[in-house]
C-alpha cells in the first residue's frame, strides 16, 4: 500500500468518526461535511481529485446513509389522533375515567386569592384576550408556589423550592439538588423517527416547571397552557402535545420516572391532564372557578400536581433525604401518586353546575386503591 493510499485511509477514518458523532438531526450535514473535508484532502496528497472522489463515493455507498425527510410540525396544530400515532399514546381509559384528587388532599385557599381574582373581573379587561386569561392563572400559580415554599421551609437542607443543598450519600438521595422553577414561555421540542420520516415537533408552553440543567432535555416536569375563551377546547390537544414531548425527553434521558402533568385554562375553566409512563392519557373533568367550591379544587389540584412532580425525581424532591425519600422515588406510583390521586368513572360525575355537596357521591365510583391496570379492565 502506497503512502498516499494510507494517508487517504487515515483521513477516511477521521471522516467516519466525524460523521458518526453527528446528532441524528444533523444527518443532512453528512454530505456537506464530506465536501468540506475533500477540500482539505485534495492539496495534501498526490492522488488526483477524481480518484479521491471515487474512493469517497464508494465509502458513502457502504455507509448507506438514508435520505432523511424531516417533517416540521407545530404542537398547537396536532390533533389528538396524530398525537396518539406519533407518540404512541393510549386514550382508551381516558374515554371512561376522570383523573381526580382525593378529598383529603383539598387545601384551604389563601385568604387573598379569591379577592385578587375578583379584582381582575372588576377591572373589566377584554374577555377574549389570552393575555387577560393569563392574569388569573398567574395569580393562582404564584399562590401555589408560595404555599409549597412555606410548607417545605423546614426542609431547607433538601428543599429544591429554596435552593441547592448538600447531597446525602446513599440511595437516590446522593443527588445534588437544583431549584424547582417556573419558566414562562418555555420552548419545547422533540425529534421522532418513524420509518423513513423524521418529525421535528416544536412548541412554546405558556409555563413549564422543572429544574434548569444545561444540556438536559429531561429537566421539565410540568406544562401549562393558556387559551382565550373561544379557543379553550383547543387547549386539550396542545397541552397533550407538550406533555408528550416532556415525557419522551425524560424517557430518552433515562430518568427514574417520566410521568408528566399539566393543565390548560382560559382563566376561568381548568382542565388537568397527565400522561403515565405507559403512555396512558388521563384528564380531569373541567372545573369552573366562577362556581362555588371550584377554585379550592383547582388550587389544590395545582399544588398537588407540582408536589407529586417534584417527588418523582431526586433532583428537586422536597422530601427530606432518607429512606422515605428513596421509597417515594423508587416506588413513585405506589408511594406518591396513588396516595393523592384517584380515577373516577364519568357515569357518576355530576354536572358542572353541581354544588360541593353534590360531589360527595363521587367517592363511591372507584376504589381509592384502584390501579391503572384495574381500570383498564373495567367494562
Residues recorded for the chain: 379
Q: How far apart are CA 281 and CA 268, in angstroms?
A: 23
Nearest residue to 75 via CA among 86, 61, 62: 86
Count other C-beta atoms under 10 Å from residue 78's C-beta: 22
**pLDDT at 260 (0 to 100):** 94
pLDDT-derived band of residue 138, with 50, 70 and 90 as boundaries? very high
Nearest residue to 251 (alpha-carbon basis) of 274, 282, 220: 220
Residue pair 192/248 in contact (Cβ under 8 Å)? The answer is yes
Query: What residues does 225 pair with on adjacent strands?
Result: 264
Determine the average pLDDT of the residues in 247-263.
Answer: 91
Q: Would you say the C-alpha torsion 361, 365, 370, 375 has a positive or negative sign?
A: negative
- Residue 283: strand, helix, or coil: strand
Residue 90 DSSP label: B
Range with lowest mean pLDDT among 129-138, 192-201, 279-288: 192-201
Please, what is the end-to-end C-alpha distance for the chain in angstroms?
73
pLDDT at 267 over 80: yes
| Tens of pLDDT, residues 321-360 | 677 777 677 777 776 788 888 888 765 554 445 444 444 4
- The DSSP string of 118-181 is HHHHHTT--TT-HHHHHHHHHHHHHHHHHHHHHHTGGGTTT-TTT---PPPSSGGG-S----EE
Write down the H helix ranges in 263-371: 294-311, 323-330, 332, 338-340
Residue 136: which of 361, 317, 288 has the closest Cα? 288
Residue 202's pLDDT is what?
94
Amino acid at each position: 500500500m502506497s503512502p498516499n493510499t494510507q494517508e487517504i485511509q487515515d483521513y477516511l477514518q477521521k471522516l467516519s468518526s466525524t460523521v458518526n458523532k453527528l446528532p441524528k438531526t444533523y444527518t443532512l450535514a453528512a454530505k456537506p461535511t464530506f465536501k468540506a473535508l475533500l477540500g482539505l484532502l485534495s492539496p495534501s496528497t498526490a492522488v488526483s481529485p477524481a480518484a479521491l472522489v471515487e474512493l469517497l463515493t464508494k465509502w458513502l455507498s457502504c455507509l448507506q446513509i438514508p435520505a432523511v425527510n424531516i417533517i416540521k410540525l407545530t404542537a398547537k396544530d396536532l390533533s389528538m389522533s396524530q398525537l396518539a400515532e406519533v407518540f404512541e399514546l393510549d386514550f382508551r381509559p381516558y374515554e371512561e375515567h376522570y383523573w381526580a384528587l382525593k378529598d383529603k388532599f383539598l387545601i384551604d385557599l389563601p385568604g387573598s386569592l379569591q379577592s385578587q381574582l375578583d379584582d381582575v373581573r372588576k377591572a373589566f379587561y377584554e374577555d377574549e384576550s389570552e393575555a387577560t386569561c393569563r392574569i388569573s392563572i398567574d395569580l393562582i400559580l404564584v399562590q401555589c408556589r408560595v404555599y409549597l415554599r412555606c410548607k417545605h421551609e423546614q426542609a431547607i437542607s433538601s428543599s429544591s423550592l429554596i435552593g441547592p443543598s448538600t447531597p446525602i450519600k446513599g440511595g437516590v438521595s446522593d443527588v445534588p439538588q437544583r431549584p424547582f422553577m417556573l419558566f414562562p414561555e418555555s420552548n419545547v421540542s422533540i425529534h421522532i423517527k418513524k420509518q423513513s420520516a423524521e418529525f421535528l415537533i416544536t412548541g412554546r408552553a405558556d409555563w413549564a416547571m422543572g429544574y434548569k440543567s444545561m444540556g438536559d432535555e429531561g429537566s421539565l416536569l410540568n406544562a401549562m397552557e393558556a387559551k382565550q375563551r373561544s379557543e379553550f377546547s383547543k387547549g386539550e390537544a396542545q397541552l397533550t402535545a407538550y406533555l408528550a414531548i416532556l415525557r419522551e425527553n425524560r424517557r430518552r434521558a433515562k430518568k427514574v420516572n417520566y410521568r408528566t402533568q399539566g393543565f390548560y385554562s382560559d382563566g376561568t375553566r381548568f382542565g388537568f391532564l397527565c400522561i403515565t409512563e405507559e403512555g396512558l392519557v388521563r384528564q380531569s373533568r373541567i372545573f369552573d372557578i366562577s362556581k362555588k367550591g371550584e377554585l379550592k379544587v383547582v388550587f389544590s389540584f395545582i399544588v398537588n400536581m407540582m408536589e407529586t412532580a417534584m417527588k418523582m425525581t431526586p433532583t428537586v424532591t422536597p422530601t427530606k433525604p432518607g429512606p422515605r425519600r428513596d421509597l417515594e422515588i423508587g416506588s413513585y406510583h405506589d408511594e406518591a401518586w396513588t396516595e393523592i390521586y384517584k380515577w373516577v368513572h364519568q357515569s357518576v360525575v355530576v354536572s358542572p353546575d353541581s354544588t360541593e355537596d353534590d360531589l360527595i357521591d363521587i367517592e363511591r365510583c372507584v376504589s381509592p386503591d384502584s390501579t391503572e391496570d384495574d381500570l383498564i379492565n373495567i367494562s
